[in-house]
Structure 1
Amino acid sequence: MLAPPRLVFRAVTFTRWLHLVMATVLAAVCALVHPGLSGLGTRQAAWLLVTPVPLLVASAMVPAVRLSEGVQAQLLLFPGARDGGTPASRSASWGDRWRTALWLVLRYELGVLTAFLSVWVPPLTWGLLRSADGGRGPGPAPWWPTGESRWYALLAPLPPALLLAFVVAAGAALAAAAKALLGPSAAERLAALEERTERLLEHNRLARELHDSVGHALTVAVVQAGAARAAGSAEFTEQALAAIEETGRHALEDLERVLGILREEAPSAAGRPTLADAERLLAAARGSGAQVTSEMSGAVATVPGPVSREGYRIVQEALTNVVRHAGPVPVSVRIAVRERVVELDIRNALPKAGGAAWDSSGGSGLRGIRERAALLGGEAEAGAHEDGWRVRAVLPLG
């Protein structure tokens, strides 16, 4: 917490003071219209606290007024703020309008009081100093000091100190009110939070897709190139190059689609592969030397888009892990569409060296499989099974 001297002499204290006093322009206009500055007495001055209120409420109904007040508050109440302040925006609902009206009235009332003290405190201080020196007070108001007393000199610093304390307190109160009344409502903050959460989830999904698609393509390309070099057969080399070309083409399509989304272009789900395109994964795995057998049952083409797309990525990651860690081993892929769920079952033999091919608890690929299944309300598991390795996922269709 700042000490009082530092709090008083900060630049923000004086910008808030200016913001408060600016609100009295309307009071000055009303006083000029009636009764005029020359005829302004105590009673008329008190009415100035009430007279402009209907006009303030009416002006708050204009959506642009909220934007104007938000800009002023940001510049004068929160100068140089990075993580504070009030984001300026137009009124989007009647709730925004009524909160703007409350803000205008509060700012006006505090501003009139601040202006009154700012005008009368200097003469009062001067009167105390003159009375301490044997002079007379500057006016007939009942609070002016009368008589002669050296003690008035000790009281002279008190009015300016109280004025500064009031300005600091009023400025802080107005800043807090600006955040509550000019800032986003609870519903708007919730909507912004939900939008940010959705954006983060989308980025995580895109990261998983890049990992699965590009990682799969690179794995297939590396394995195919190594197998072609070891085989020394022109025919096998031709097949390997064709498989690398096809896998690379699909990876480039996925990469272009993901980059388009990151550029905030309209995302197209139509270009994303689904379980109906799983044959391309099986062909790529076979081209890498794996002995793949497949079984599909049920209406794969009727699986809902999100489930079918995520299911494709799960099969892709499972086959990528087989090619990368186990090599040319027998693999069985089963895709079963039942009444309420899609069941994916990918099994492979372990390499002859023995042992588990990879740790079931680690690796971003297996973690991504579990996350994909969980986001759809399903479940996935991976680990040693009988004499091999098994990845199984159950995705609900609802």
Structure 2
Amino acid sequence: MSTSEQRAAGGGTGLTTGRPGERGVWRTLGLRWVHLLQGGAQLMPFYLLTVVLLGIVRPEAAQGFGSQPRVQFLTFALSLPLVAVGGLLPLVRALESASARTLCGVPAHEPTAGPAGSWAARRRSAAWFTLHVSLGGLVSGASLAVPPMAVVLLVCPLVPGLRAQRWVWPWEHAGSALWAAPPAGAALLALLLAAVYGAGALLTRCAPVLLGPTPADRLAAAERRAADLAVRNRLARELHDSVGHALSAVTLQAGAARRVLQADPGFVREALAAIEETSRGAVAELDAVLGILREGGTAKHAEAVGPTLATGLESLLARTRATGTEVQVRIDEALGPPAALDERVSAEAFRVVQEGLSNTLRHAPGAAVRVLLEHRREETGGRGGRRGREGDGGRAGDGDREASRGGERTLRVTIENATDGTRPASRRSGGRGLAWMAERAALLGGTVAAGEEDGVWRLTVRLPLTASRTKAAR
């Protein structure tokens, strides 16, 4: 039958397209019914245990267990506290979440898949388990009793043997009143379906609340996401600084070698060797970062990536000088040897120097660079904040040079190079180097200042040397 014929057979009423939706409703009702019957099955161990305990405490009540509905409902009610205690087990949440996702149609992301890890989560799981088991017990009992009763009522007018029985219902067993039995049977089935639908809808609505993450779970998940994001941002900064500097250096080294290829073969050999060393170092750092990303590294692993002033400064300066750039470096004696610095501070200071040299190679090729590593003590109190802040353009006054015994010990990194004054705007609005450098300094409680003054581009970064500040910033 063609599509047009199907539409004609449906009379244009959309019955054909409505059948899948109808089947979906009945399938959902059937799955939720199975879910409720599962709850009734889970009730049985607690129910039987309550029967045994009730028989020990009240033997006369246990004798009427099979014939008195009142005793059965009492036993059902007394078994629910045992159900709640059983729901405190951590594994209950995982099992009930899987059942709710499969049978109740609850979205997979709403219940929590893992076991309950806190008492708040356990209490919620116990509440859900009690609700599921209690509704399941009632629906299971009704599912056992109502269908046979409804069938008897539906066929009673047609079966002489059933009409001869004395059934307990509020109408006569003979005459026209007997034909009221089939509608009553159909009504019982409709009530059972309505009860199953209502109980299933209630469980579906309560599942995300009782089986979902607690506020503590959400907070822990947010902290894990924030930690992962911090690790990724740090690795991105490492890639930017290492690979970006390597590309800038290699580009200038190759260009310088090409210009003097015939005139100065010795310089060409040095440039090629520097290119090889720079590329090898960049590939090693890239492999380290990619290895951490593949293995899902933590913040501790991310901090281990990259060189420090003690391990990488000399090779960095050599690679930069191989481009033909003049680099002057002065390290304050009061700072001590770079190997004695805190490893985190030393690593961040190395990246600052690397980014400063990369900026010079990109934006002022051929300009001489001056690098200063100084030890300072700076006052942090008062309205003015730190003395010698970003507005000083990297120049320290006499008061800043006088060390205050109560001030904060800092490492001050200053990088200067002459500019031609033609492209200051592009430099300020360039890539992410300065922004990520500011993030690096902020993680340690430091500051970054950059700007052009009197034809000199100056980058000034202050990093606290105090161990407590460094550890707190991690």
Give the letter aligned to residue 69 of structure 1.
E
User: Which of 27, 33, 43 is the equivalent residue of 1:11?
Assistant: 27
Q: Are 2:253 and 1:224 aligned?
A: yes
- Matched letter for residue 114 of structure 1: V
Indicate if the aligned counterparts of 2:65 and 2:72 stay in contact, CA closer than 8 A. no
Alignment match of 1:111 (pick from 133, 136, 143): 136
Partners of 2:165 and 2:446 lie apart in 1 by 83
Q: CA deviation at 1:201?
A: 1.6
Q: Describe how 1:211-360 pairs up with structure 2 within 5 A.
A: 211-232=240-261, 233-264=264-295, 267=301, 269-270=303-304, 272-276=306-310, 277-297=312-332, 298-299=335-336, 300-339=338-377, 340=408, 341-351=410-420, 354-356=422-424, 358-360=426-428
Aligned equivalents of 1:373, 1:96: Cα separation in 2: 40
| Most deviating of 330-339 and 53-62 | 53-62
In the alignment, does 2:102 pair up with 1:59? no
- Of residues 109, 119, 125, the one that matches 1:83 is 109
* SS in structure 2 of the partner of residue 338 of structure 1: strand
**1:20 equivalenced with 2:1 (yes/no):** no
What percentage of aligned pairs have identical amino acids? 38
Letter in 1 for 2:359: N
1:178 corresponds in structure 2 to 207
Distance 1:126 1:8 in 2: 26
- Measured in 2, the distance between the counterparts of 1:64 and 1:355 equals 65
1:374 equivalenced with 2:401 (yes/no)? no
1:196 equivalenced with 2:196 (yes/no): no
Q: CA RMSD in A?
A: 3.6
Q: Report 1:61-210 matches (<5 A).
A: 61-78=88-105, 81-87=107-113, 89-122=114-147, 140=167, 148=177, 159-210=188-239
Equivalent position amino acid for 1:113 in 2:
L
Classify 1:82/1:107 alpha carbon distance in 2 versus 1 (closer, same or farther; 3 Å).
Answer: closer
Contact 1:127 1:138 in 2 (8 A): no
Q: Which has the larger displacement, 291-300 or 159-168?
A: 159-168
Q: Which amino acid aligns with 2:33?
A: W
Aligned partner of 2:351: which letter?
R
Q: Deviation at 1:41?
A: 2.8
1:25 and 1:217, CA in 2 relative to 1: closer, same or farther beyond 3 A? Answer: same
1:326-380 Cα offsets, whole Å, 9 max, x none, are 111121112223243222221211248x332733134122222222223333332
Larger radius of gyration: 2
Superposed displacement of residue 96, structure 1: 4.1
Measured at CA, do residues 155 and 388 of structure 1 come closer, stay the same or move farther in structure 2, by a change above 3 Å? farther
Cα displacement (A) at 1:186: 2.1
Q: Supply the AA of the counterpart residue of 1:103.
A: W
CA distance in 1, matches of 2:165, 2:219: 57
CA pair 254-149 structure 1, distance change in 2 beyond 3 A: same
Q: Residue by residue, what CA displacement relative to the aligned partner does 1:26-56 show, whole Å, maximum 9, x if unpaired?
A: 5556469786999243212212322323442
Distance 2:456 2:290 in 1: 37
Q: Distance in 2 between matches of 1:107 and 1:14?
A: 16
Q: Compared with structure 1, are the counterparts of its residues 46 and 289 closer, same or farther at alpha carbon in structure 2 (3 Å cutoff)?
A: same
Instruction: Write the distance in 1 (CA, Å) between the matches of 2:115 and 2:348.
Output: 41
Aligned to 1:263, the other structure's residue is in SS state helix
User: Are the aligned partners of 2:154 and 2:186 in contact in 1 as well (CA < 8 Å)?
Assistant: no
So what's the TM-score if we normalise by structure 1? 0.82
Q: Structure 1: any 5+ residue segments left out of the alignment?
A: none
> What is the aligned residue count?
390
- Partner of 2:77, secondary structure, is coil
Structure 1 Cα separation of the partners of residues 165 and 84 of structure 2: 39
One-letter code of the match for 1:293? Answer: Q
> Could you say if the C-alpha distance between residues 18 and 306 of structure 1 is closer, same or farther in structure 2, counting changes exceeding 3 Å?
same
Distance 1:161 1:254, change over 3 A: same
Task: Provide Cα deviations, 1:298-337, integer angstroms capped at 9, x if missing partner.
Answer: 2344433323222221221221121122111121112223
Distance verdict in 2 for CA 1:261–1:151, change over 3 Å: same
Task: Note the alpha carbon deviations across 1:256-309, whole angstroms, 9 max, x for none.
Answer: 221221122762745631233333322222221222112222234443332322
